Structure 1
Amino acid sequence: MRVLFATTDWSGHYMPMVPLAWALRAAGHEVLVLCGSALQPTVAKSGLASVPLAEGNGLFNARVGNFLRAVSGHEVVPGLPPIHPITGREMTDLGRFDWPAIERCIPAWRVRRQALMTEFAHDWRPDLVVHDLPNVDGRLVAAAAGCPAVLHLWGLAGTLETDWSMRVLPEQVDHTFAGFGLQGKGSRVTHVIDPSPGPMEPAIAETRLPIRNLSYNGPGALPDWLLDPPERSRVCVVWGTSVTRIFGPGSFFVPRIIDALAEFDVEIVLTMTAAETAGLPRLPKNVRSVEYVPLRLLLPSCELLVHNGGAGCSMAALAAGVPQLVVAVSDEHVMNGTRLANAGTAEWLRGSTSTVEDIAAAARRVLTGTSHARYAAELAAANEDRPAPTELVAPLVDLASATARSAV
């Protein structure tokens, strides 16, 4: 069987699909990843082959979405101005971006995308497509090839979200899909692969295919200092690499977080890019700064993960059974923080409106209490009870075979 994985150019959307791709490869199936050129190095590091034909404009799309929210009167990040979709600079005048001119190009873009994806589908002939929710290209290939397309969630958002900010839903993608003249021809989502632990399964209308979250977050080495138990409580601080690129420099709340944790008797492991770390003031003595350690290796030694609320960190901590403190930037981060807090495993607050004292108080509630750790352990156990990626191979083969038989 030939399986095509299709994703946007955000690594956080691609990485949750990697263990399933490995399982399919191990079972003898051919796997290819449809992505933008920017994601090719990430795909290569995961040991899979890619075809760089997908749209590589995830950053621009995210910024445009925020711009359109601002135009409609919604505040994207409380207290922060929106940023220009192309330059990334803060905007004081929304009229300085000509969205109607961009919008007029969409029909021609659709013609080009449909022709390119149809040609690829006829050349490679996939039997199954596994796609990220915002990805349209994979579903175009599936429609052209006449094979099923299965949605793979990347976090805690489902397909029945009602909040304005989370309306990246199948119906919306179907609306885009209909612009290609293909509505009703395989565009509707019928099966959803869900990596959320049982109590946190998001609402969906489709057939749910549960899968264990193995928390793949890239390759890396186990450093020597992680082989020994920490001498005191360890707190990990992670900040998403895409946050400031989407929401602007004012959304970088790490200095405030470090100040809040500086007086705690803990070891703080700060993992960010060297460029981001270089922009920080002098770090306190209890901070260990590392550029990159895979979270699946680091988190088991931690008693708290502090992050901006991205799905990748949220899911990694759930799999590791580690309590969380979400210092949210966007509404998606607020959603993740709220759902984690409702499950008892996290505290959350809005970064743009929270003080150093607010962050310190939230961290103290987690570190001095026991309930967050107890709920985190229960959710990790619930994740372990979900089917491993290898157990989804047979159902996916059956789905592809049934579709092929019905087409004969």
Structure 2
Amino acid sequence: MRVLVVSAPLTGHVLPLLPLAGALREAGHEVLVATAADALRAVRSGLPVRDVAPAFDFGRIARGVMLRHPLVARSELAGTAGTRGAGLLFGAVNDQLADGVLAVGREWRPDLVIHEPFAVAGALAAAILGVPAVRQENALFDGRELARATLARLGPALRRHGLTDLPPPAAAIAVAPPSVLSQDGWPMRYGTDLGDGGLPDWLREPGERPRVLVSRSTVAGPGSAGPMPAVVAVADRVDAEFVLVRPTARLARRGLPGNVRTVDWIPIPAALAASAALVHHGGAGSVYAALTAGVPQLATVGAGDRRHNAELVAACGAGIALRARDVTADALTRLVTDVALRDAARRVGAEIAAMPGPAELVRRLESLR
């Protein structure tokens, strides 16, 4: 069968869709990824990718939405807007994706559409084409509520195509471990399949001291630098090795402590295999990466879904939630020495490892035809 995979045009949104897409291809099905902008990076997986919005500019859309809705913008920056802010923003995003996704669908004629909750343009295309739609989770919210919030703001696109509403998906795929979050759908082990290409040899083995990866958001905007500056400021007082992943040019030019190194883009899940912990900006992909690896994490509380994500990490005991400015040497020392954090992270990692892999869902998807 032909499977169209639809993602919002952001790297962190498309990467979690690739393992299942790859499993479908390995099973002999044709797969095409429909997205735009930064998410075109998915081509590195070897899957065919189609740009459905060549002029897409996420920053411009976000600024426009926030200017029109200042109260929601304030809540969004504080991380308290929940799905309300996401609905406004990704409603506008999907309005720009809808026509391009539908055009690709009409040309390519898929038998099945898989989309993430932030890409309901995929569900719209499936409804018009008369094929099943499957929602695959990639966040730490309830995907049903995310899809509803986005769809509520998709009126113009629906009207353009003669629709007033969309049918429920034929199925949903849940990737969150139940001990962290209950999601609706078939369970599937989370992953981001870009392999381990580009990982330096020194990151493949543990170092002499506990290694802590420090990452930042792939999306430019408020708080995108995450906790990196705070970590650098106190690193020399912590008995650990810190690796800054894609630091800003300004930070990389600074005189860094002797126990701080820098790398460009690397596959973080692969690097976590030989690391003791992850410090990050609170993005869902980073949370899942550390949980899957079974290592403790420090997630900073920030805008969008980052407060929600960080608080879930702290609630399950697998990590620490702090504002970036509150990251201290004591907090980082606790991250690499606290046995309770390590044990909780390992328990969640084992829970994820026991979930069905993407290849195990192929038969279930085939049955939807």
For this structure pair, what is the TM-score category when the shorter chain's length is used for normalisation?
A: 0.7 to 0.9
- Structure 1 gap ranges (5+): 79-105, 162-167, 401-408
Letter matched to residue 172 of structure 1: T
| CA deviation map 1:272-319 (0-9, x unaligned) | 1563543x5210001121113211221122222111011111111111
How many residues matched? 352
One of 329, 339, 346 as aligned partner of 2:312: 339
Looking at structure 2, the residues matched to 383 and 299 of structure 1 have their Cα atoms a distance apart, in angstroms, of: 15
Looking at structure 1, the residues matched to 31 and 99 of structure 2 have their Cα atoms a distance apart, in angstroms, of: 22
| Partner of residue 132, structure 1 | 116
| CA deviation map 1:83-114 (0-9, x unaligned) | xxxxxxxxxxxxxxxxxxxxxxx8xx96x976
Looking at structure 1, the residues matched to 315 and 190 of structure 2 have their Cα atoms a distance apart, in angstroms, of: 20
| Partner of residue 83, structure 2 | none
Cα distance change on mapping 1:49 and 1:273 into 2, 3 Å = farther
Residue 26 (structure 1) shift = 0.6
| CA deviation map 1:93-137 (0-9, x unaligned) | xxxxxxxxxxxxx8xx96x97665544333221111111212233
One of 143, 150, 171 as aligned partner of 1:172: 150
Query: Do structure 1's residue 269 and structure 2's residue 243 form an aligned pair?
Result: yes
Q: Secondary structure at the match of 2:237?
A: coil
| Partner of residue 146, structure 1 | 130
Q: Secondary structure at the match of 1:150?
A: strand
Query: Do structure 1's residue 288 and structure 2's residue 261 form an aligned pair?
Result: yes
| Partner of residue 180, structure 2 | 200
Looking at structure 2, the residues matched to 66 and 257 of structure 1 have their Cα atoms a distance apart, in angstroms, of: 30
Looking at structure 2, the residues matched to 217 and 332 of structure 1 have their Cα atoms a distance apart, in angstroms, of: 24
Query: Do structure 1's residue 121 and structure 2's residue 105 form an aligned pair?
Result: yes
Looking at structure 2, the residues matched to 276 and 22 of structure 1 have their Cα atoms a distance apart, in angstroms, of: 37
Give TM-score scaled by structure 2 length.
Answer: 0.86
Looking at structure 2, the residues matched to 291 and 396 of structure 1 have their Cα atoms a distance apart, in angstroms, of: 37
Which structure has the larger Rg over C-alpha atoms?
A: 1
| Partner of residue 336, structure 2 | 367
Query: Do structure 1's residue 389 and structure 2's residue 367 form an aligned pair?
Result: no
| Partner of residue 6, structure 1 | 6
Cα distance change on mapping 1:48 and 1:363 into 2, 3 Å = same
8 A Cα contact 2:44 2:194, kept in partner: no
Residue 38 (structure 1) shift = 4.4
Q: Secondary structure at the match of 2:110?
A: coil
Looking at structure 2, the residues matched to 51 and 227 of structure 1 have their Cα atoms a distance apart, in angstroms, of: 33
More deviation, 314-323/265-274: 265-274
Query: Equivalences for 1:149-160 in 2 at 5 Å?
Result: 149-159=133-143
Cα distance change on mapping 1:308 and 1:36 into 2, 3 Å = same
Q: Supply the RMSD in Å over aligned alpha carbons.
A: 2.7
Letter matched to residue 235 of structure 1: V
Letter matched to residue 375 of structure 1: A
| Partner of residue 50, structure 1 | 49
| CA deviation map 1:58-99 (0-9, x unaligned) | 333333444445345735435xxxxxxxxxxxxxxxxxxxxx
More deviation, 319-328/265-274: 265-274
Letter matched to residue 308 of structure 1: H
Q: Secondary structure at the match of 2:368?
A: helix
Looking at structure 2, the residues matched to 365 and 248 of structure 1 have their Cα atoms a distance apart, in angstroms, of: 24
Letter matched to residue 387 of structure 1: P
| Partner of residue 302, structure 1 | 275
Letter matched to residue 337 of structure 1: A
Query: Do structure 1's residue 260 and structure 2's residue 237 form an aligned pair?
Result: no
Looking at structure 1, the residues matched to 97 and 197 of structure 2 have their Cα atoms a distance apart, in angstroms, of: 36
One of 253, 274, 286 as aligned partner of 1:313: 286
